[in-house]
Chain A
């Protein structure tokens, strides 16, 4: 069985990434594991302002993300699901580490929107592609005029 790791960022791109991951799982005979990383943004608080420990907030964010991810996972046909993982840390590091830990056969990630200005690969996506020691499937959201909507995955979910 092939292992497809889909790194999603809980934006609208997540659905597109999952669709492609599901298609890969179908065509390769595998399952899809969803990964989301919670980033802790380093911030210097103003003098006199109390800021809770970032680790506390990160875990709260991770819990919320896990709930959202489990909801996303429901759009994957049951027989193709292989769990949800939420990691705390920088996205590129988390994705590369998770891919190795899962021994993924393919990692699916999203790039920036396709447009005249934003055709460049995002920094995180570029780091992942450059560092990953296994195949990376880069999904790129297309403008509406270029998109042929596939059958919604949720309609096939078991």
Chain B
């Protein structure tokens, strides 16, 4: 039995997330691990209070993200048969952390933005919070073009 039997990788379709996914897939393949992709639909704050119907505004965005997640899932499944997808709605770091607390993966792989040349800039805010608060080991990886 491998130690990293269950690996969680939050995905948001950005460059750091893709890099994190690549590393997670590599580790899952080498370990024969189960991989879970978690996507959190972050409801844009600017739309709150606009008085528009959530279904009119948000449903197409939700559908588009679901399609993208399915596309990513299909691609990963070629390499990792034991892959599944989960979705949540809300504040990404809170939802990711709640998922971690509930499922207790052996490892969380997070892509990060890096410093962008600003000496004291921190990780991407989501990755930073997960690294700080996760009860499980977290493997952070920067997007290659930012390394």
Size bracket of the A interface: 20 to 34
- Let me know if A28 is at the binding interface, CB within 8 A: yes
A10 to chain B, nearest CB (A): 20
State A152–B26 Cα separation when bound (angstroms). Answer: 25
A17 to chain B, nearest CB (A): 10
Q: A129-B131, A133-B142, A146-B135 are contacts. A27–B2 as well, Cβ < 8 Å?
A: yes
Provide the B118-140 mask, 1 if CB < 8 A to any CB of A, else 0.
00011100000001111111111
Residue contact B30 to A138, C-beta cutoff 8 Å: no
Smallest CB gap from B137: residue in A: A139
Residue contact A136 to B136, C-beta cutoff 8 Å: no
State A120–B133 Cα separation when bound (angstroms). Answer: 6
Provide the B96-130 mask, 1 if CB < 8 A to any CB of A, else 0.
00000000000000001011000001110000000
Residue contact A131 to B3, C-beta cutoff 8 Å: no
Residues in A whose Cβ lies below 8 Å from that of B141: 134-135
Residues in A whose Cβ lies below 8 Å from that of B58: none
Instruction: Find B123's partner among A114, A130, A150 (CB 8 Å cutoff).
Output: A130
Residue contact B134 to A150, C-beta cutoff 8 Å: no
Q: A27-B27, A121-B132 are contacts. A137–B137 as well, Cβ < 8 Å?
A: yes
State A146–B101 Cα separation when bound (angstroms). Answer: 11
- Given A133-B147, A140-B135, 10 more contacts at CB 8 Å? A20-B137, A23-B3, A27-B3, A27-B4, A126-B132, A129-B123, A134-B147, A135-B23, A139-B137, A140-B137
